[in-house]
C-alpha cells in the first residue's frame, strides 16, 4: 500500500542552523513522483520540488537541498542556514502512476519553527 511517513512532528531550531526534514515512502509502483510542499500560516500549499523515481540525482536550490535515495525509500529535505521565514509546515507527498489519477498522498507534515 502507498504511504508517506514524516516521523518528525515538530522541529524547533535557532536561525542560521541547518535542519533536515525526513520523509520515507512506500509504494509498489516502479515509476512514481515525489514532492515537497510548504504550508505557511496563511494556509496555501506552496510547491517546492518534484522528482521522478528514475532521477536519483540530488538537487540544490539556494538554501534548499533534497536527498533522494531509492535504496532506503527516502526523500529528505535540508534547509541550510535557516531563517525565520522558513517557519511553516512542510509536507512530503507521493504520486503513483500505475492506475492512479495522480492524486497526491501526503505525509502528516513536519512543523518547523525557526527562532531568531
Partner 1 sequence: GAGVSQSPRYKVAKRGQDVALRCDPISGHVSLFWYQQALGQGPEFLTYFQNEAQLDKSGLPSDRFFAERPEGSVSTLKIQRTQQEDSAVYLCASSSTRSVGYIKETQYFGPGTRLLVL
Using CB under 8 A as the binding rule, whether residue 91 contacts partner 1 is answered as yes
Stretch that binds partner 1, among 16-24, 59-67, 75-83, 100-108 (CB under 8 A): 100-108
Stretch that binds partner 1, among 14-22, 60-68, 75-83, 105-113 (CB under 8 A): 105-113
Using CB under 8 A as the binding rule, whether residue 102 contacts partner 1 is answered as yes
**Minimum CB separation from partner 1 for residue 33, in Å?**
5
Binding mask 23-42 for partner 1 (x = CB under 8 A): --------x-x-x-x----x
Please give the distance of CA 86 from its chain centroid, rounded to a whole number: 14
Query: Is the CB of residue 99 less than 8 Å from the CB of residue 30?
Result: no
Which phi and psi angles does 115 have, rounded to 5°? -100, 145
**Minimum CB separation from partner 1 for residue 31, in Å?**
5
**Minimum CB separation from partner 1 for residue 4, in Å?**
8
CA gap 56, 106 in Å, rounded = 20
CA 57-60-61 angle, 5° bins: 140
Residue carrying C-alpha cell 494556509? 43
Amino acid at each position: 500500500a502507498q504511504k508517506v511517513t514524516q516521523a518528525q512532528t515538530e522541529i524547533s531550531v535557532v536561525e542560521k542552523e541547518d535542519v533536515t526534514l525526513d520523509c520515507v515512502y512506500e509504494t509498489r509502483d516502479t515509476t512514481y513522483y515525489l514532492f515537497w510542499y510548504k504550508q505557511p500560516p496563511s494556509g496555501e500549499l506552496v510547491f517546492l520540488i518534484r522528482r521522478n523515481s528514475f532521477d536519483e540525482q540530488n538537487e540544490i536550490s539556494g538554501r534548499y537541498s533534497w536527498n533522494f535515495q531509492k535504496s532506503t525509500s527516502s526523500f529528505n529535505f535540508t534547509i541550510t542556514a535557516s531563517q525565520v521565514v522558513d517557519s511553516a509546515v512542510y509536507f512530503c507527498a507521493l504520486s503513483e502512476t500505475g492506475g492512479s489519477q495522480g492524486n497526491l498522498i501526503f505525509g502528516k507534515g513536519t512543523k518547523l519553527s525557526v527562532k531568531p
